[in-house]
Amino acid sequence: MFENVIVPFDGSPVARVVLAPATDLAWRCGARVVIVNNSAVSDTASRAALKSRARSQSGADIDFWVDNDVTVSEAVLSAAEHRADPVIVVGAKGKSGGILRPKHGLPTATAEILAATRCPVMVLGAKADTSRGLPMTELVVPLDGSPNGERILSLAVSWAQTMRVRVVLLGVVSASAEGDHRAERDYLEVHRRAIAPVVPEVTVELVAGPDPATGILSFLATREDAVVAMSSHGRTGPKHGPLGAVAAKVIAESPRAVVIRRVEA
């Protein structure tokens, strides 16, 4: 599944928030944690100190990717390009003091990574609960009826098989729409039946909301041990940057980790 979990880490409090979920993910799929750093830690003593700090906070074996001549986003992208089967784990909360300027509602480095990579990216938003690392018994997969949205299903199946988690296929209908929503339920059921033979457990949920993102967030509020997996193709305008409006709002407001796979629109 994944061989390398790529995570930027400089020892700061913001970076520590991301490290614990990243190492939990690595443990779950038997991957290596690769710390990316673009500050002055290339000498042996500095690297040893940072590695010791990371290991004490994560309990995981640590590998390094250090590049002092590029931005942190460029270093992360380079590490992902040169490591087999990568997944990137990043935060969506900038450092204090404006060191990371917001870009499309995300820290600049996170926005740049999402815009450039096609490997999966797990994003820990500003409201994500990381106090327990990465609790995950189920993977919530919102589907919107589009072929691009459905492209996340292959990742969901892979995660379910590797980490033995339940898959929840989630649909959102307008709160003002009348009827029994049979077509929406049938759509989810078709996909449930398609993946049911190859995953441990898969269920469907249909919820109502004023808009898709709010419906997804309302559902997540009741699922303490969930991770969200979404496709994003960023078709809804430049103000959302590398994400569409739904993915951008879910990341900004979600209490859970969000896995994004960018697809070409």
pLDDT value at residue 161: 94
Q: What is the pLDDT of residue 70?
A: 87
Ramachandran angles phi, psi of 237, nearest 5°: 115, 155
Model pLDDT, residue 60:
58
- Rounded mean pLDDT of the chain? 84
Mean local confidence (pLDDT), 166-171: 98
Contacts of 57 (CB under 8 A, 6+ apart): 16, 19, 20
Strand partners, 37: 66
* Contact residues for 29 (Cβ-Cβ < 8 A; gap 6+): 1, 2, 162, 163
pLDDT confidence tier of residue 2, bands split at 50, 70 and 90: confident
Q: What per-residue confidence (pLDDT) applies to 63?
A: 82
The pLDDT score that the predictor gives to residue 254 is 94
User: How confident is the model at residue 103, as a pLDDT?
Assistant: 45
pLDDT above 90 (res 97): no
If you average pLDDT over residues 57-67, what whole number do you get? 68
What is the token pair recorded at 221? 């509020």
| Partner residues linked to 138 by β-bridges | 166, 226
CA-to-CA distance for 71 and 54, rounded, in angstroms?
A: 21
Provide DSSP, 59-90: -S-EEEEE-TTS-HHHHHHHHHHHSSSEEEEE
Identify the H or E element spanning 107: strand 106-107
Buried b (16+ CB within 10 A) or exposed e, 106-116: bbbbbbbbbbe
Measured between its terminal Cα atoms, the distance across the chain in Å is 25
Cβ within 8 Å of residue 162, ≥6 positions away: 1, 28, 29
Average pLDDT score over residue span 201-220: 96
What whole-number distance in Å separates Cα of residue 125 and Cα of residue 36?
19
Q: What tokens appear for 24 in the block? A: 């939990």
What percent of the chain has pLDDT above 70?
82
Kindly report the pTM of this predicted structure: 0.86
Give the pLDDT confidence score for residue 55 in this predicted structure: 62
Note the pLDDT of residue 236: 46
User: At residue 82, does pLDDT exceed 50?
Assistant: yes
Sequence-ordered list of residues with C-beta below 8 angstroms from that of 237, at least 6 positions apart, any chain = 245
Q: What is the DSSP letter of 168?
A: E
Residue ranges and CATH numbers for the domains of the chain are: 4-124 (3.40.50.620), 138-262 (3.40.50.620)
Bridge-partner residues for 238, per DSSP?
none
pLDDT of 40 reads 59
Q: Is 214 helix (H, G, I), strand (E, B) or coil?
A: helix
Q: Tell me the three state secondary structure of residue 170.
A: strand
